[in-house]
């Protein structure tokens, strides 16, 4: 009964890759999890480390995004494509790198975007415009850390394939850039779906409760009291409580 229509808005799911703590010593250079998403204007990559960031460590965000229609011609001379494909020559093919380094507690950044590093969480943000990209484009991402001779990567590369570089598709995060999120309070189709649900299930108090909550949240969004993201979080928390996590 609780179909996709019973939602405040269409939510964007993040891509996640976990990496075991301990494969690079378990410290602030060791990657625990990467979460990637996009919001219509920016790419957001969050890197959770196994411990707080440490001195003498360099954190690299690698981005590969040029000519995604060509998956097999990296060997062609003057070929503009730098996409990682089967990587027959084990090429290093990233187009852009954001580096955040810590040396004697002095931060050093190079490359596109902005990195915020607090404790054991690194958050990287770069705009579509800065990379010359737009909604619907695809970006391949991966993360590396270098710490006193220890190199850590996530997603990990396959040690048995004869290539130490990241290869498409298994060894990278493939992120399709989302369009800007709409305010679904103003979506007439969504509003009609809700009205149809009320007509179809007139005695279902859970649906009435969620519908009433949605109407109230939309008023607060329109008034500027809440953002769409905040209203969505409130709605989804209530929906989960009422339905026991059912979709």
Q: What is the mean pLDDT of the chain?
A: 82
Q: ∠210-12-185 over CA atoms, to 5°?
A: 40
- Are the C-beta atoms of residues 68 and 83 closer than 8 Å to each other? yes
Which range is least confidently modeled, 56-65, 106-115, 236-245? 236-245
Q: How far apart are CA 61 and CA 51, in angstroms?
A: 18
Q: How confident is the model at residue 88 (pLDDT cuts 50, 70, 90)?
A: low
Answer whether residue 48 shows pLDDT above 60. Answer: yes
Q: How confident is the model at residue 10 (pLDDT cuts 50, 70, 90)?
A: low
Answer whether residue 162 shows pLDDT above 80. Answer: no
pLDDT in tens, 54-71: 889 999 999 988 764 554
Q: Where in the chain are the domains? A: 15-176, 184-243
Q: ∠43-101-85 over CA atoms, to 5°?
A: 50
The fold adopted by the segment(s) 15-176 is Immunoglobulin-like (2.60.40)
Q: How far apart are CA 66 and CA 138, in angstroms?
A: 9
Dihedral sign computed on CA atoms, order 160, 166, 172, 174: negative
DSSP 227: -
Which range is least confidently modeled, 20-34, 50-64, 174-188? 174-188
Greater pLDDT, 185 or 218: 218
């Amino acid at each position: 009964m609780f179909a996709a229509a019973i939602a405040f808005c269409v939510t964007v799911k993040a891509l996640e890759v976990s990496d075991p703590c301990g494969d690079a010593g378990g410290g602030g250079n060791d990657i625990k999890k990467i979460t990637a998403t996009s919001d219509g204007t920016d790419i957001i990559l969050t890197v959770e480390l196994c411990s707080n960031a440490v001195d003498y460590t360099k954190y690299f965000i690698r981005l590969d995004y040029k000519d995604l229609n060509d998956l097999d011609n990296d060997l062609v001379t003057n070929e503009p494509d730098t996409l990682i494909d089967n990587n027959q020559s084990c090429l290093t093919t990233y187009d852009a790198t954001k580096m955040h380094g810590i040396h004697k507690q002095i931060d050093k950044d190079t490359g596109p975007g902005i990195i915020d590093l607090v404790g054991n969480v690194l958050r990287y943000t770069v705009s579509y415009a800065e990379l010359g990209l737009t909604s619907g484009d695809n970006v391949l991402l991966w993360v590396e850390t270098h710490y006193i001779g220890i190199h850590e990567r996530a997603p990990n590369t396959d040690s048995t394939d004869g290539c130490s570089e990241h290869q498409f598709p298994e060894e990278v995060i493939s992120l399709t850039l989302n369009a800007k999120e709409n305010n679904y309070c103003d979506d007439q189709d969504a509003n009609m779906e809700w009205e149809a649900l009320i007509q179809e299930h007139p005695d279902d108090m859970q649906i009435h409760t969620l519908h009433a909550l949605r109407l109230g949240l939309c008023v607060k969004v329109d008034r500027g009291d809440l953002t769409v993201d905040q209203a969505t979080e409130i709605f989804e928390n209530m929906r989960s409580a009422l339905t026991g996590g059912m979709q």
